[in-house]
Amino acid sequence: MGRSVQEPGYLRMMEPTPEQKNILGLHLPTDPRWVDLAGIALEDILTDHAWCEQKAATSCISLIHRYADKEKLVSELAPIVTEEWGHFRLVLAELTRRGLKLGRQRKDIYVNKLIEFEKKGAPEEDRFLDRLLIFALIEARSCERFKRLSEHLDDEYLRNFYRRFMESEAGHYHLFIGLAETYIAKDKVRARWKEWLHYEAGVMETQELRGDRIH
């Protein structure tokens, strides 16, 4: 279990400056060195990316199963399942094109740290909100990382490859925020989102810098 978010110094509790802010409201930009590390570990980064897309598809299916009574959620997420699975196939095809192998799925430390911040034992509305915001945050961070790859990889083909993924993930981020605001008061969604952004910055700040992971 990680340190409590109330511990002094764990998070930067002041508002970030414009220079510190990143796209999508993220409070801590990815360390520029990450792209260099990813560029020399393409088999690992593509493998991790493939499994991230697979997990995104199956996680959306799980949300549909759990909240089948929420008609808008079901109708909005059903095509995302298809899209994410299509992304998995695209990354798998890119591995094959390069003569690389799909490695084993790895433990996702980043996502597990996010789950620690969920409100356990809270009213159903709060738990539902946290699930949607976790999805939004994962999509936002993925989009930010894909943007870095699209701008700074030496491989021109992969730069274009990741630009397409970046544009897709940005749309998904907005979708999950929009779904939350469909079912829950906007002020409540925005207040909790702000808490999540602060917490996620702390997770990123304490994670080991390594180029074989998307997150």
Round the average pLDDT of the chain to a whole number and report it. 88
Share of the chain above pLDDT 70, in %: 89
Q: Give the per-residue pLDDT at 157.
A: 94
Q: Give the per-residue pLDDT at 4.
A: 29
Q: Give the per-residue pLDDT at 24.
A: 65
Alpha-carbon distances, residue 171 vs 36, 130, 141 (angstroms): 26, 19, 13
Q: Give the per-residue pLDDT at 184.
A: 98
Which positions of the chain have pLDDT values less than 50?
1-22
Instruction: Find, among 196, 152, 206, the residue nearest to 173 by Cα.
Output: 196
Q: Give the per-residue pLDDT at 8.
A: 29
Backbone angles phi, psi at 87, to 5 degrees: -65, -40
pLDDT in tens, 161-209: 999 899 888 788 889 999 999 999 999 999 999 999 999 999 999 998 8
The pTM is what?
Answer: 0.86
Contact residues for 70 (Cβ-Cβ < 8 A; gap 6+): 183
Contact residues for 43 (Cβ-Cβ < 8 A; gap 6+): 95, 98, 100, 101, 103
Q: Which domains does the chain have, with CATH numbers?
A: 33-206 (1.20.1260.10)
Contact residues for 5 (Cβ-Cβ < 8 A; gap 6+): 11, 117, 198, 199, 202
End-to-end Cα, the chain, rounded Å: 19
Answer yes or no: are the C-beta atoms of 175 and 80 closer than 8 Å.
yes
Sign of CA dihedral 154, 157, 162, 164: positive
Q: What is the dihedral of CA 44, 48, 50, 53, to 10 degrees?
A: -160
